[in-house]
Every structure is written in C-alpha cells, then in structure tokens.
Amino acid sequence: MAQPLATAAQASLAALRAEGVSKTFGVGDTLVRALSDISLTLASGTVVALLGPSGAGKSTLVKALGLVSLPERGRIWMAGELVAEDGRALADLRDLRRQHLGFVFQKPNLIPFLTARQNVQVACEIGAQSNPRQRADELLAYLEVAHRASAMPATLSGGEQQRVAIARALANRPALIFADEPTAALDKVRGRQVMELFGRIAHEQGAAVLVVTHDHRTLDVFDEQHEMEDGRLLPVAA
Amino acid sequence: MNLALLDIRHNAGRFVATSFGVGLLFTVVLAMAGIYKGLVADATELVHAAGADLWVVQQQTRGPFADVSRLDPSVERRVAALPGVRRARGFTFLVLQRDLAGRSRRFALVGLGWPDDRGADLPLIAGRSLRQAHGELIVDASLGLAVGTKLELAREEFLVVGLTRQLLSSGGDAVIAATVADAQLITEEAPSDAIRTERFRRAERLRTTDLGRTQPALAALIVDPSWRPPVAASAPLAAVLVDLQTPIDSGRVRAALASWPDVSVYTTAEQDGLLLDGVVEKPRRQLALFALILIVTSSVLIAAVVYMMTLDKTHDLAVLKLIGARRRRIAAMVVQQAWLMGMSGYAIAVLIGSQAFSHFPRRVVLSDGALAGVGALVMVVSTLASLLGVAYALRVDAARALEG
C-alpha cells in the first residue's frame, strides 16, 4: 500500500481518549456494573492488547469506545474531538464509525451473499471511496487474499475469512480499529499471523488498534497491554 | 453495487418460487381486470355494431338490452317520416336457447330491419351480409358454425352466410342476426300441439260471445291455419334505430320524439350508460371486490416474504450498520427486493395471461391501459408490502454485529 491510511496530523494525536467511562446493566438487585470509571488513551500507530477473563467487560468496553453502545458516564474524544459525554452523542455516530473506525469480530461476519471482494467493496462504497472496487482489490492484495477475491465467504478458510474481514475494516482508512477476539476461531499459526498483521497495520498505516484477546502467546506483538477485571482496567507493563 | 440483486441471486431458488406464487395471484388480478374490460366490451359491442344515431324504445323502458321494450311496428314508419331522419330501422333482440347443429346453444337473436339493414356494419370476419329477406343468418364465430352451415329453426331451414368475431350480448351470449321477420318467426315458434290447442280454445271462446252465436261461419274461419284476424296486432319491435341526416339534427329529432307519448329515445352513448350501469355494474363490483381481496393477499404474501428475508439478514444488516451504512441504503435494499419480487410476479402474470386468457369462456381484454394500471398497482403494493421489512431493518441494532 503506497498511501498511508492515517494522515501525519492524525498520527500526532491520540487516536482515542476515554475518561471515566462507566456502564451498568439491569436495575436493583440485578444491577451489574459492566464498566467502572475506565480511562484509556490509544495512541496512533500502536497496537494495544486488552486482556481479561470472560465477563470482565472487554467486549462492553469495545462497544462503548467504538460508539456502538454509549457509556452512561464518562467522556470519549476521537482525534482530539469530544464525541460522547455521559451517554450523549455529540456527533453523528454513524458518520464517525464510517469515517474513523474499523471493526473486526471474533467471527469474520462476512456478508454471505457477497464475494470476498464485494464484502470489502461495500465498505468502501459506504465510506464513499472514489474507486471502491480498486480499493477493495488493493486491500485484498495487502492482506494476501487477492487470489480469493471472487470467492464466496462459505468457500474461504477461517484465516482467509478473517483477512477479508480485516481488509473490510481497513476500507476507509480508519484511525482506530477495534478487534474483538479476532483469533478465537483460528488455529495457533493463523492466529499469530493475524495478530502480526494488526501490528503491521498499526505501524505501517498509523492506525491505533485495540485487540481483545485471551491468547497470551502472542503478547509480544503488542506495543501496550491492558487487563480488565470486573469492569475495571488494570494497567500492565508493556 | 446493488445489495438487493446480489442477495436475490444468492437465494435465487426461494426468490423464484415466491415470485411464481405472487405471479399466479397477479394473474388472477389481471384476469379480473381483463374480464371487466371484456364485460364492458361485450356489453357495448352490439350497440356500437348497430351503428345507429338514436335508439327509439317503448316509453319509460330502458330497452332493448337492459329492459324489455315492445314497440308497435308503425313506429318505424312514423320515425322515418320525421325531418332530419335519413333512415329508420326495426330492431328486435331476445336471448334464446335452442338446438343448433345438434347442440343446445344459448344465443342472442337480433332482428335487423330489412332491407335497410343487412348487417353490413357488423364485424364480419367471413362470408357476407344478408342478401335475402328470409332464410339467411349471420352468426358469431364463437358458436363454432361455419359459413354454409344449414340450421333448422322454427321448422324452417336457415343458411349461415356470414361470421362475426366477438359479437356478443351483455350476458356473453353469441349473437345471431337475421331479418326482423325471421327473428320474429324464430322467437314465436310454438309446438304444433300448442297451435292446435290455441285454435280450439279460440273457437270455444268465440262460442261464448254474441258474435259467435250470431255468425256461426266464423267458427270455421277462426280455426283455419292460414287465416289471421285483421284486428290482431303485428309482432312488436324491440326498438327502432334512427340514422340522422347530419349529427346536428339530433337535438331536433330528439325533441320531436320526446313529444310522442309512446316512446323514449336514447343516444348510443346513453345506451352504453344503461348497459354499464344496469347490466355490468354488479359483476363489475363483484370483480373489483374479488380483485381487491387478491391484491391484499398478494401484499400480505410479499410483505411476509420480504419480512422473512429481512429477518434472515438481521446480522448482515447489523454489520452494514456497524460499518456506517446509511439508513437509506438499508431501506433501499429491502424496498428494491420487494419491487423485484412484484415486478417478477407481474411479468409471470402477463406471460401466463397472454397464453391462457384466450381460452377463457368469456372475453378477457388486456388493454395497454389495464396492463399499465395493474403494473402501477403492483409497484404500489410492493412498496407498501416492504414497509414492514424496512421498519424492522431500520430498527436492527449495530451492536448485534458484535454478538457471537
């Protein structure tokens, strides 16, 4: 990829800053505090691991920071702009997701009636890229799955599907990529390849990448690690 | 990139099967519209084929098609004598069921005013118009008779000399045209026993009167088959058709006829109105209600299928929303699928209709207007049917893409 996905100006800023983020589910006796007063900064060009046991609140934090499910308390800045405060959106969240964020899921979640190329192309179209098909082909080539561009998702291997999903996440040159257990469905070798790919994307493209993972064998890939427990963030050494 | 088309291509089997079902429903809707148009065409065909400027009928009746009308034959001569009238023709009309060429057939017998009206204005497709005052018939081709066929009616032999196409009564019965005299002969046919019985009853009635008692020779005369009482009325006409010298004479002739105490007069357009309001109105409403039920059924079917297709795509819609797809793109995908289903069903309906409707017992008229109207209706129905799916698709939470 000749063209960087994030600009130099974006890279000089914190891609994301969260302060005092809290979220609860249920009421009364059933109230669960999913996130408690979490503050976090994701610098551009870094790949960050988010560790923790099941139920620690990792996915809830990804949803909150990804502006999918806003936290009830706390503030979120993206590229220096305050975009959410105490459960209120201060910008068009759909536009923000389209222009600045990329998501990779535990399952690839490719749209089954679109080919690999079309899965990426649709994201490029949504992001109003000037030449969506060409952009899709470039991304598939970057992720080394160009040879499967015309294949339907059902005919792709797990690793190929996840690479296509990552290509889709990169479609609109996001400043921030959230990956929620992206290697859970992959074997050890392919899992490591995907994690290394995130490191490459962060360092080559200047994007901030937050990866939720249980896999401690790949921690050497990450620039920074955080651990969560009972809805709280416990910083660990890089 | 059109997501609706790509999704349909991926689920082609289900889409084709559903479109075929929708197509069958639309076929019936199209048939309802065509049958109604056919009813109107059938009802008014004969009125237009007669080619008259004015129709004179019995006063306060709506004859000769929507009502029984009996006019004294002298009316024909009286009308012909009016200034502005170029020609007056007698006309009779009656629906009969008789044996024709070995089969019991129902038909509308039309009497034409010989010699002025020989059926030259009828839509002939074979043979010729009438050349003789007696013994010739023009029949509609739907009766399956050929030119040259000899038919026995009222113990007389008639020759089929001409064939018409789609010349039917408002009830859909094929028309047979003859001279007024032949039509009356056929209409008034009675069995020999009934004629003999009537002669004896006539003689008995005469014996109970002073005339019979004082002039016994009358009894022999009255049972003579060749004798016709000079005071007996001639067989009535159903109408007198008036051809004007110029169209501007219409008002003047109508005004003159309006002053006559024994007739009513209608223009061809008014005859159309009488037929459509009186004869076709109830079938029209029935067809319209039937079509309405089918349209609602089609809408529900499309709505259910599109909704199910949308439900199946819940996760994909969540993914699209998560990556920032605009609401109008999501809605367009659902609406376009409903449109494609509706249009496919409509195309199937037109295809089936074009092959099948000609075999229907009653005329089905698929005019360009009806086709365009049903096509527009299909688009409206498809759009409305998609609303449920659109509402669901727009409610899908992007967060569902992050689940499982």
Instruction: Among B319, B327, B333, pick the best mutation site for testing chain A contact (most A Cβ within 10 A).
Output: B319
A103 in a structural domain: yes
pLDDT attached to residue A79: 82
- One domain, residues B88 and B11: no
- One domain, residues B211 and B326: no
In the numeric block, which tokens belong to residue B305? 């299928």
Cα gap B348→B23, rounded to integer Å: 5
- One domain, residues B23 and B97: no
- One domain, residues B134 and B151: yes
- One domain, residues B322 and B366: yes
Contact B11 A111 (CB under 8 A): no
What are the chain B neighbours of A171 within 8 Å (beta carbons)? Answer: 323
| Residue whose pair of structure tokens reads 């096509």 in the numeric block | B375
Cβ-contact B166, B123 below 8 angstroms: yes
Contact B324 A180 (CB under 8 A): no
pLDDT attached to residue A11: 40
Q: What is the mean pLDDT of chain A?
A: 85
Question: In chain A, whose CA is at the least distance from the CA of B1?
Answer: A122
Q: Does position A136 have pLDDT exceeding 90, yes or no?
A: yes
Cα gap B299→A136, rounded to integer Å: 39
- One domain, residues B135 and B267: yes
Range of the domain at B7: 3-43+281-402
Mapped onto helix, strand or coil, the DSSP state of residue B147 is coil
pLDDT attached to residue B233: 62
A189 to chain B, any CB pair closer than 8 A? The answer is no
CA dihedral sign, ordered B119, B120, B121, B122: positive
A44 in a structural domain: yes
Contact B11 A113 (CB under 8 A): yes
Cα gap A114→A119, rounded to integer Å: 6
Nearest CA among B393, B314, B3 for reference residue A126: B3
Cα gap A89→A102, rounded to integer Å: 19
A194 in a structural domain: yes
Q: Which long-range contacts (CB under 8 A, 24 or more apart) does B292-300 make?
A: B294/B25, B294/B28, B294/B29, B294/B32, B295/B29, B295/B377, B295/B381, B297/B25, B298/B22, B298/B25, B298/B26, B298/B29, B298/B345, B298/B381, B298/B385, B299/B381, B299/B384, B299/B385, B300/B385
Question: In chain B, whose CA is at the least distance from the CA of A154?
Answer: B10
Cβ-contact A222, A213 below 8 angstroms: no
Nearest CA among B42, B49, B67 for reference residue B239: B67
Number of Cβ within 10 Å of residue B310's Cβ equals: 24
Residue B403 is inside which H or E element, if any? none
Mapped onto helix, strand or coil, the DSSP state of residue B173 is coil
- Chain centroid to CA A142: how far? 18
Burial (0-12, 13-18, 19+ Cβ within 10 Å), A117: buried
Q: Does position A2 have pLDDT exceeding 70, yes or no?
A: no
Total domain count, chain B: 2
Q: Does position A234 have pLDDT exceeding 50, yes or no?
A: yes
Task: Name the DSSP class of B234.
Answer: P
pLDDT attached to residue B312: 86
Residue A214 is inside which H or E element, if any? none
Query: Helix, strand, coil shares of chain A as percentages rounded to 5?
Result: 35, 30, 35
Distance between first and last Cα of chain B: 28
- One domain, residues B266 and B122: yes
Q: Does position A121 have pLDDT exceeding 90, yes or no?
A: yes
Write out pLDDT tens, residues B305-346. Answer: 888 888 888 989 999 988 888 899 999 999 999 899 889 999
- One domain, residues B189 and B292: no
Q: Does position B82 have pLDDT exceeding 50, yes or no?
A: yes
pLDDT attached to residue B111: 92
Write out pLDDT tens, residues B215-268. Answer: 877 777 777 777 766 666 677 888 899 988 887 778 888 888 888 888 899 988
Residue B263 is inside which H or E element, if any? strand B263-267
Residue A187 is inside which H or E element, if any? none
Cα gap B369→A129, rounded to integer Å: 44
Mapped onto helix, strand or coil, the DSSP state of residue B286 is helix
Cα gap B325→B312, rounded to integer Å: 18
A3 in a structural domain: no
- One domain, residues B246 and B287: no
Mean pLDDT computed over B152-178: 87
Alpha helices in B208-359 (DSSP H): 210-214, 217-222, 250-258, 268-274, 281-312, 314-322, 327-356
Q: Give the CATH number for residue A109.
A: 3.40.50.300
Mapped onto helix, strand or coil, the DSSP state of residue A115 is coil
Cα gap B141→A10, rounded to integer Å: 85
Cα gap A6→B185, rounded to integer Å: 101
Cα gap B102→B92, rounded to integer Å: 25
Cα gap B312→A109, rounded to integer Å: 14
- pLDDT band with cut points at 50, 70 and 90 for residue A192: confident
pLDDT attached to residue B126: 92
A89 to chain B, any CB pair closer than 8 A? The answer is no
Pair type for strands A88-89 and A81-85 = antiparallel
Question: In chain B, whose CA is at the least distance from the CA of A96?
Answer: B324
Torsion, Cα of B287, B288, B291, B296 (10° steps): -150
Cα gap B206→B227, rounded to integer Å: 15
A204 in a structural domain: yes
- B-contacting residues of A 49-78, CB under 8 Å? 59, 62-63, 66, 68-69
- Angle between helix axes A132-142 and A158-169 (nearest 10 degrees) is 130
pLDDT attached to residue B138: 94
pLDDT attached to residue A146: 92
Closest CB to B10 among A103, A112, A132: A112
A1 in a structural domain: no
A95 to chain B, any CB pair closer than 8 A? The answer is yes
- One domain, residues B245 and B304: no
Write out pLDDT tens, residues B85-100. Answer: 898 999 999 888 888 8
- B-contacting residues of A 107-166, CB under 8 Å? 107, 109, 111-114, 118, 121-123, 125-127, 132
Mean pLDDT computed over B10-15: 87
Cβ-contact A183, A215 below 8 angstroms: yes
Question: A152 CA to chain B: closest CA distance, Å?
Answer: 10
Q: B128 forms bridges with which residues in the sheet?
A: none
Contact B402 A63 (CB under 8 A): yes
Mapped onto helix, strand or coil, the DSSP state of residue A44 is coil
- Region of poorest pLDDT, from A11-15, A36-40, B154-158, B300-304: A11-15
- Chain centroid to CA A34: how far? 20
Question: A192 CA to chain B: closest CA distance, Å?
Answer: 21
In the numeric block, which tokens belong to residue A122? 């649709």
pLDDT attached to residue B165: 86
- pLDDT band with cut points at 50, 70 and 90 for residue A134: very high
Pair type for strands B124-127 and B239-244 = unpaired
Q: What does pTM read for this prediction?
A: 0.70
A23 to chain B, any CB pair closer than 8 A? The answer is no
Cα gap A222→A203, rounded to integer Å: 11
Total domain count, chain A: 1
In the numeric block, which tokens belong to residue B144? 């399956």
Mean pLDDT computed over B53-66: 87
Cα gap A2→A205, rounded to integer Å: 10
Write out pLDDT tens, residues B135-150. Answer: 899 999 988 889 998 8
Mapped onto helix, strand or coil, the DSSP state of residue A66 is coil
Q: Does position A137 have pLDDT exceeding 70, yes or no?
A: yes
Closest CB to A114 among B6, B326, B401: B6
Angle (nearest 5°) at CA B318 between B316 and B320: 70
- One domain, residues B102 and B206: yes
B9 to chain A, any CB pair closer than 8 A? The answer is yes
Domain termination residue (choose one: B224, B250, B277) = B277
Phi-psi region of A61 (alpha: psi -120 to 50; beta: other; left: phi over 0): alpha
Angle (nearest 5°) at CA A76 between A73 and A80: 155
- A-contacting residues of B 329-348, CB under 8 Å? 329
Range of the domain at A186: 14-235
What are the chain A neighbours of B310 within 8 Å (beta carbons)? Answer: none
Mean pLDDT computed over A24-48: 87
Q: Does position A7 have pLDDT exceeding 60, yes or no?
A: no
- One domain, residues B288 and B273: no
- pLDDT band with cut points at 50, 70 and 90 for residue A77: very high
